[in-house]
């Protein structure tokens, strides 16, 4: 079956039926469509194809036939008394075929390869479907099928459309072993596969071993999903697991990119590891209240608020991070050591209110933005030896800061916020016990520079 049938309009889809039967392919044109009309008529009269709207709003209660191979757009739409369907030889069900069949409880289509857009949309009584040979599932195909329950198994489906199972609130597990999450080659436009299982609130298990891209909002609000294994996945898109409150285990050994808010609100996730991940998006793990450890050995970019308010996060391993975004670790109140030895730039508020932070090591950092370490009340030692820019309030209210290392700078760092940079720290009030370490060759320059001169008594060379 040509994949075109899944999202096409009536005449185009009929032309594709004929092309499929004839074994032909190619770009559809008006002339090409017109040339199929006589063949379509033959197929209709034989019963091989059920034409569009044939039984629309009929009062039938059951339908069973072994003759049809293709069912066209809206053929049974609105048949509110239809309860069971048996189409043992059908290969494709097209656009809205059973949409609005509110009493439909079961469908038997063991040879069906394609289910089109909104085919079962709003079939609120549908409890079971037998279609083990499906290779393509269209947009919103099962959306709103709230009575579907237990396990859905479509192990051959490699294409799954936008919101395909959205709101299927009673399915517990799903097997999509062949689904890759990417647009197959040969389609003229990208296949939108977002929000596939959005609001499947009883889904606990998803078997998706071939998934290379987890689409946007794919499992969003799957509040009972407990674990996910993604052995070949390279990309987790925005909001993929948003508010999966019970998610406690994620395996993603090949993942290179985690999108914005991908795991936001996953409040049961205690540990996360991405051995090949190079990019962590905005709010990726925002407010994950159970997260204790994060290991990303090759990540280079940690975006804004990525781990913001992860209040139990105590260990972060990201030795290759070069950029830490705004509020990336803001209010991570259990973090004790921040060591990012290759980081060159830290954006505003990145570690603000990390009130258990004792030590910071940023040996390659040249840029510390506004309020980066503000209110880190236990921060005693900070190493930013190459820093050339220190923003307003960078260390403000760091009430334990006694040692600041700037010992590899080549010139006196810029201080746009003046004395607000270290307001409320022992650098001002700690007397001779506090130290600012600078290159010996620059001691005089520091002591003569604006605002730095106020720390002259504790500036020492090394």
Q: State pLDDT tens for residues 279-320.
A: 999 999 999 999 999 999 999 999 999 999 999 999 999 999
- SS3 of 61-124: CEEECCCCCEECCCCCCCCCCCCEEECCCCCEECCCCCCCCCCCCEEECCCCCEECCCCCCCCC
Buried-state track 204-228, b at ≥16 Cβ within 10 A, e below 16: ebbbbebbbbbbbbbbbbbbebeeb
Q: State pLDDT tens for residues 189-204.
A: 445 578 899 999 999 9
Domain at 336-462, CATH class: alpha beta
Closest CA relative to residue 443, chosen from 428, 458, 427: 458
Q: Where are the domains of the chain?
A: 256-326, 336-462
Work out the number of other CB atoms within 10 angstroms of the CB of residue 116: 27
Q: State pLDDT tens for residues 46-86.
A: 678 899 999 999 999 999 999 999 999 999 999 999 999 99
Instruction: Answer whether residue 182 shows pLDDT above 80.
Output: no
Q: State pLDDT tens for residues 121-132.
A: 999 999 999 999
The Cα 137–Cα 142 span in angstroms is: 9
Q: What is the pLDDT of residue 13?
A: 44
* Mean pLDDT of the chain, nearest integer: 89
């Amino acid at each position: 079956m040509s994949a075109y049938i899944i999202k096409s309009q009536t005449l185009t889809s009929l032309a594709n039926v004929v092309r499929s039967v004839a074994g032909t392919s190619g770009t559809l044109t008006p002339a090409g469509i017109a040339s199929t009309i006589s063949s379509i008529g033959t197929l209709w009269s034989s019963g091989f194809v059920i034409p569009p709207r044939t039984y629309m709003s009929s009062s039938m209660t059951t339908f069973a036939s072994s003759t049809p191979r293709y069912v066209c757009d809206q053929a049974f739409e609105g048949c509110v008394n239809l309860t069971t369907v048996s189409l043992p030889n059908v290969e494709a069900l097209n656009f809205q075929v059973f949409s609005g069949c509110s009493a439909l409880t079961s469908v038997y289509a063991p040879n069906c390869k394609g289910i089109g857009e909104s085919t079962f949309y709003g079939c609120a009584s549908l409890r079971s479907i037998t279609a083990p040979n499906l290779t393509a599932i269209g947009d919103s195909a099962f959306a709103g099928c709230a009575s579907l329950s237990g396990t859905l198994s479509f192990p051959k489906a490699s294409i799954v459309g936008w919101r395909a199972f959205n709101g299927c609130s009673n399915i517990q597990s799903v097997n999509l072993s062949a689904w890759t999450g990417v647009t197959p080659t040969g389609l003229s436009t990208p296949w939108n596969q977002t929000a596939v299982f959005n609001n499947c609130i009883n889904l606990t298990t998803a078997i998706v071993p071939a998934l290379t891209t987890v689409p946007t909002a794919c499992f969003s609000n799957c509040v009972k999903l407990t674990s996910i294994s993604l052995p070949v996945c390279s990309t987790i898109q925005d909001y993929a697991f948003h508010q999966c409150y019970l998610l406690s285990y994620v395996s993603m050994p090949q993942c290179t990119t985690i999108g914005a808010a991908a795991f936001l609100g996953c409040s049961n996730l205690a540990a996360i590891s991405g051995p090949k991940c190079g990019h962590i998006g905005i709010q990726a793990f925002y407010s994950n209240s159970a997260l204790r450890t994060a290991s990303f050995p090759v990540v280079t970019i940690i975006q804004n608020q990525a781990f913001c308010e992860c209040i139990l996060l105590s260990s972060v391993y990201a030795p290759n991070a070069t950029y830490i975004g705004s509020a990336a670790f803001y209010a991570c109140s259990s973090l004790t050591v921040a060591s990012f030895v290759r980081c060159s730039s830290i954006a505003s508020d990145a570690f603000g209110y990390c009130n258990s932070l004792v030590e910071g090591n940023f040996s390659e950092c040249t840029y510390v933005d506004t309020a980066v370490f503000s209110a880190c009340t236990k921060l005693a030692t900070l190493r930013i030896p190459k820093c050339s820019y220190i923003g307003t309030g960078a260390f403000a209210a760091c009430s334990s800061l006694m040692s600041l290392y700037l010992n590899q700078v080549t010139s006196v760092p810029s201080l746009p916020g003046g004395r607000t940079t270290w307001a409320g720290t022992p650098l001002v009030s700690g007397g001779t016990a506090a130290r600012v370490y600078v290159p010996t060759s620059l001691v005089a320059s520091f002591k003569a520079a604006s605002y730095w001169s106020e720390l002259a008594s504790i500036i020492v060379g090394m």
